[in-house]
């Protein structure tokens, strides 16, 4: 059964507040009447609430770029899953490689974040995995991907009404302009799918999981991903900052 495809814009920390709001308005205009698949925009925390209000009654969905791994408490500076829901988020990126690199986030934290997010009805985690360049060169990719999945999701019981998006983002392809070859993406997605089948069973994977690709996606290479059967969508960084370019990518993948 074909899954409802999804495209996710990750704006990272690349815009000011004013620019974020301006961009969100442009997205709203551009995607007016667009009804294919799901389109999710992930702006910085500080503008989520306002953009959430702007996107109300549009087809655009809101996502956050991170979340904390506890429900509430004395955690200065952190944002809970419930707050994200209140701000209008339906998605949240968890364990992006930039957070693993610059904030030393590890898979124990990522696991806990996924659990807390799944506790909130209406909020779906986008769990990032992906090998480093060195791991790819030394043939460790398959092991790394399965290991990351097990650490992030192992032992979690996925209920009927819960959804999980796994984002395969090879670290060497992020922001490098070096998108993966379609055949390599297809292979990695197959490994991820098989590992998920082992962990959760085929029925749950078919119904509750989507696997998306991220890393240097543009309107020029989107077609090569759209043609692959086991790619359920895309996570786009740099190219999502240009509404026209992102719209082209969305049209390319959500057919
Ligand atoms: P780029 O599309 O800029 O390579 O970034 C990908 C990414 O990190 C999305 O989360």
Parse the chain into domains and list their residue ranges.
6-253
48 Cα: distance to centroid of ligand 1 (angstroms) = 20
Whether residue 22 is predicted with pLDDT greater than 70 in this model: the reply is yes
- Residue-wise pLDDT tens digits, 119-167: 999 999 999 999 999 999 999 999 999 999 999 999 999 999 999 999 9
Spatial separation of the C-alpha atoms in residues 38 and 7, rounded to whole Å: 6
**Which one is catalytic: 96, 116, 135, 189?**
96
Two tokens, residue 220? 């020029």
Q: Is the pLDDT of residue 62 over 80?
A: yes
Q: Which CATH number fits domain 6-253: 3.20.20.70, 3.40.50.2300, 3.90.1170.50, 3.40.50.12370?
A: 3.20.20.70
Q: DSSP assignment of 60-90, as one string? A: EEEEES---SSSSSS-TT---HHHHHHTTEE
Active site residue 96: yes
The single-letter DSSP state of residue 181 is P
Q: Grade residue 229 by pLDDT with cuts at 50, 70 and 90.
A: confident
Find the catalytic residue in 98, 131, 169, 186: 169
Element (H or E) spanning 52, and its range? Answer: helix 48-55
**Residue corresponding to tokens 């989507």:** 210
């Amino acid at each position: 059964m074909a899954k409802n495809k999804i495209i996710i814009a990750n704006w990272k920390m690349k815009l000011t507040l004013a620019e974020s709001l301006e961009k969100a308005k442009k997205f709203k205009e551009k995607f007016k009447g667009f009804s294919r698949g799901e389109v999710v925009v992930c702006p910085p925390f500080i503008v989520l609430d306002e953009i959430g209000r702007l996107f109300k009654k549009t087809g655009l969905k809101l996502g956050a770029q991170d979340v904390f791994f506890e429900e509430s408490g004395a955690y200065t500076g952190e944002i809970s899953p419930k707050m994200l829901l209140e701000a209008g988020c339906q998605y949240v990126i968890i364990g992006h490689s930039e957070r693993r690199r610059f904030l030393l986030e590890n898979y124990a934290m990522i696991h806990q974040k996924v659990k807390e997010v799944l506790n909130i009805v209406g909020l779906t985690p986008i769990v990032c995995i992906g090998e480093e360049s060195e791991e790819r060169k030394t043939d460790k990719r398959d092991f790394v991907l399965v290991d990351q999945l097990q650490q992030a999701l192992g032992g979690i019981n996925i209920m009927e009404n819960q959804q999980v998006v796994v984002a395969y983002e090879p670290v060497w392809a992020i922001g490098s302009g070096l998108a993966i070859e379609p055949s390599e993406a297809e292979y990695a997605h197959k490994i991820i799918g098989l590992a998920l089948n082992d962990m959760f069973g085929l029925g749950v994977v078919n119904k509750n999981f989507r696997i998306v690709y991220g890393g240097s996606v543009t309107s020029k290479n989107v077609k090569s991903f759209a043609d692959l059967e086991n790619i359920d969508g895309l996570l786009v960084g740099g190219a999502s900052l240009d509404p026209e370019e992102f719209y082209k990518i969305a049209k390319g993948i959500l057919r």
